[in-house]
Amino acid sequence: MNLKTLRQSLASALEDAGIDYSTSAFPPPVVVPPTVVIVPGNPWIAPVTLGRPGTPQVEVSFRLTCIVANLDNQGSLDQLETLVFAVLTNLPRGWEVGDVSPPSVETIGPSDLLVSDVQVTTLTTPKLRS
């Protein structure tokens, strides 16, 4: 499996759940909330020594940045919590959830946004060239 396929499996799961998303190497300069931005995690790719020696596996991580408009304290927090739980309940099979950051306010352009990061990881066997 390749990284594009893994990222697309996340994106498809979010799309199937009716969640707006974008994929990016880093959060984009303009966002339209509510949305989830799929960004490479840290570490993005880590070797794992499981399985047979001829079949290497790697752990791939992504940070799913959940974003809502910060218009009303309680309403925005409720909307962010709903978005985070929608992401968690719609992850594809084989993905594990790591840390979920507490809500924080971020200013992007002229807008204050309420955000929370969800760390997700999965094990995969890289597609090797023959």
Coil/strand/helix, residue 108: strand
Q: Report the pLDDT averaged over residues 114-129.
A: 86
Has residue 45 got a pLDDT over 90?
Answer: no
Confidence bin at 84 (pLDDT 50/70/90):
very high
Strands 111-124 and 96-100: antiparallel
Q: Report the pLDDT averaged over residues 94-112.
A: 92
Type of residue at 93: R
Of 3 and 70, more confident: 70
d(CA 65, CA 100): 10
Of 128 and 119, more confident: 119
The pTM of this model reads 0.86
